[in-house]
Amino acid sequence: MLRAKPKNPRIIEVEHISRDVEVLRNEKFDWLLIDCPPLDLDVIENSILKSDAVVIPVRSGFFDVDAVTPVVEICKRRRKPYSFLLAAVDTKMPKLVEAAMSALVNDGPIFATRLRYLQPYVLSIQRGKSAAEIDKSCQPEIDHLWAEVKRLASQSNVLMMQSRAAS
């Protein structure tokens, strides 16, 4: 809402995820990203049910890594492809990142891209811009992540086709 122009992407608040996502699918968006509150497992599960793929952002701290377990269980139970995104990574603390990766690797795939803890990412929220619009040096990181997200979503399409063929 802080973004002036261009208006793309749009933020749309929904009240009932199941119903509202179906309505939005009919509007022919290229992508629909659902951002969930980190502790509301009912909202998270409903979002996962309507999702083609799930990106699970996680910081490198112990409590953050431990907190993803219920989300992973929902993804597995609902048979949704997912991947962890290490976010707000402090490059001055490589051992913390290594520990987080060691803890996560047994729970699922981890994107190769890591979003570093940089001022443009923090400022992007305040300014309604992407980090790359604030600092061009963030663009390669964002491009790499976007490519990984698209690959994850394409896995969902392959799984759906295999499921239909098996039925």
Q: List the chain domain ranges.
A: 17-139
From first to last of its 167 residues, the chain has per-residue pLDDT tens of 666 666 666 677 777 777 777 788 788 778 888 888 888 899 899 899 989 999 999 999 888 998 999 999 999 999 999 999 999 999 899 999 999 999 999 999 999 999 999 999 999 888 888 899 999 999 999 999 999 999 999 887 655 545 545 54
In sequence order, the 6+-apart residues with CB closer than 8 A to the CB of 60 are 86, 88, 89, 90, 93, 96, 97, 99, 100
pTM, rounded to two decimals: 0.85
> Prior bond to 9 cis, omega within 30?
yes
In CATH, the architecture of 17-139 is 3-Layer(aba) Sandwich (3.40)
Q: How far apart are CA 38 and CA 34, in angstroms?
A: 12
Nearest CA to 140 among 160, 114, 119? 114
